[in-house]
Amino acid sequence: MNVLRRPPGLSSFRFYSTQTTRPFVPPASLNHLELPQRQREKPRPASPSFYTARPDFYDQLTSLESALQHAKTALTTCHLLPLPQFARTALPPRVNAWVDKRELGLKLRSNLTTSRYRRVVLVLNELETYRAIAEKAGIMELQEGIRGITELFERADAATMLARGKSKPVKFDEYGRSYTLGKRKTSSARVWIVPAQRPPADPSTTALSTQATETDSALDALLNPHSSSKSNEHVSVAQILVNNTPLSTYFPIPADRTRVIHPLKLTGLLGAYNIFAIVRGGGTSGQSGAVAHGIAKGLAAHEPAVATILRKGKILRRDPRMVERKKPGLAKARKRYTWVKR
């Protein structure tokens, strides 16, 4: 064993591998000396992975791996592992939202490289899979035990992250009105939709003819406000107000009006709802498109069955087309200057 660690007077020098200036003294010749056993009096390092120079990290990783092993053993005892392929596909696809590298480094009290971060995330993903299996099979104790470990490493905003891309459900207020937003180019529309109250039906006329006349009269009234029609005075028509003005006044161009009505026509709900919209920004076509988008979303909220029709008709999707910017060297976004041969 090493007895003389450093020759006296040379303790401040750096020792390079090529120079070992320590003289070798056979330990047996020092037996008669009472040298202080300084080395023996010092305590040993506590962690078994001390010599990796990252004991905290490797100890934590080891404990995670042993937790994984325990979970695996428990599931094997419950005859849930190895899971057949058809059962694996029955599990919901997991999208995990673990903390990022920096945060995990803080939690594990060591600076993490990408490869070490990935190693931890691999173990956490497997733990999460076993938790999902335990949850599906109804083994609540095991599920809670694993959750206790995995929730320590989950992002604070995990719920929001996982809900990204999923649209929030449209809420109705106490009057049964839906409030939706529609956008197109630079216009944005706020649309309130409420079911129109139908007048009491005449027993003499048939239901079908009443519906047909109502729809026709509604369409007529909306598109041609100033034409006098006898049916207008008797049937209450579902109104569409845009910026507190009737649709026909606000959108003089027929194309814009048709665009606004399009979702109602597709779904056959023309006389069924009262619509109030506030639209700002853009020009006529942008504003009409925004109102149509808002109406489509509102209709999908009121009647979920029509959502498929609207999606097929491509009105439920916010039209991503925006005005393309002008580029240098071109007259407009795409228009080139006249080509000159010389």
Partner 1 sequence: MATKAGLRPWLSATRCLWKSRPSVLQHRRNVFTSSDEPFPLQSPDDWQLLQDRRIRFKMLVDLFSEHGSTVTRDNTFQPHHQLHRPLAPSEATLSALIAAGAHFGHAKALLNPNFMPYAYGVRAGITIIDLDSTLPLLRRAASVMRAVVERDGTVVFVGTRPDLRAVVRKAAERIGPQAFHVGERWLPGTLTNKLQLFGRDVAKEQRVTPDLVVFLNPMANAHAIRECAIQHIPTIGIVDSNVDPRVVMYPIPANDESPRTAELITGVLSIAGREGRVLRENKERSKELRQSRYKRGQERGSTR
Q: Please pick, from the candidates 138, 165, 169, 203, the single residue that binds partner 1 as defined by CB under 8 A.
A: 138
Least CB distance to partner 1 at residue 114 (A):
15
Q: Kindly give, in sequence order, each residue whose CB lies less than 8 Å from that of residue 299, ignoring residues fewer than 6 positions away.
A: 193, 263, 264, 267, 269, 273, 306, 310
Q: List the one residue out of 177, 178, 184 whose CA is nearest residue 279.
A: 184
How many CB atoms sit inside 10 A of residue 17's CB?
A: 5
Question: Nearer to partner 1 by C-beta: 79 or 171?
Answer: 79
Question: Nearer to partner 1 by C-beta: 49 or 239?
Answer: 49
Question: Under rule CB under 8 A, how many of the chain's residues touch partner 1?
Answer: 31
Per-residue interface string for the shown chain with partner 1, residues 27-56, x marking contact by CB under 8 A: ------------xx-xxxx--xxxxxx---
Dist CA 189 CA 260 (whole Å): 12
Least CB distance to partner 1 at residue 73 (A):
12
Per-residue interface string for the shown chain with partner 1, residues 248-287, x marking contact by CB under 8 A: ----------------------------------------
Least CB distance to partner 1 at residue 128 (A):
18
Dist CA 333 CA 327 (whole Å): 6
Q: Which two tokens stand for residue 138?
A: 């109804």
User: Counting contacts by CB under 8 A, is residue 164 touching partner 1?
Assistant: no
Question: Nearer to partner 1 by C-beta: 1 or 340?
Answer: 1
Q: Which stretch binds partner 1 (CB under 8 A): 17-25, 164-172, 216-224, 255-263?
A: 17-25
User: Counting contacts by CB under 8 A, is residue 201 touching partner 1?
Assistant: no
Least CB distance to partner 1 at residue 40 (A):
7
User: Counting contacts by CB under 8 A, is residue 78 touching partner 1?
Assistant: yes
User: Counting contacts by CB under 8 A, is residue 20 touching partner 1?
Assistant: yes
In this structure, are strands 245-246 and 273-280 parallel, antiparallel, or unpaired?
A: unpaired
Do 331 and 337 form a contact (C-beta atoms < 8 A)? yes
Q: Please pick, from the candidates 11, 33, 36, 79, the single residue that binds partner 1 as defined by CB under 8 A.
A: 79
User: Counting contacts by CB under 8 A, is residue 80 touching partner 1?
Assistant: yes
Query: Buried b vs exposed e over 64-75: b needs ≥16 C-beta within 10 Å?
Result: beebbeebeebb
Contacts with partner 1, residue ranges (CB under 8 A): 1-2, 15, 17, 20, 24, 39-40, 42-45, 48-53, 58, 62, 78-80, 84-87, 90, 136-138
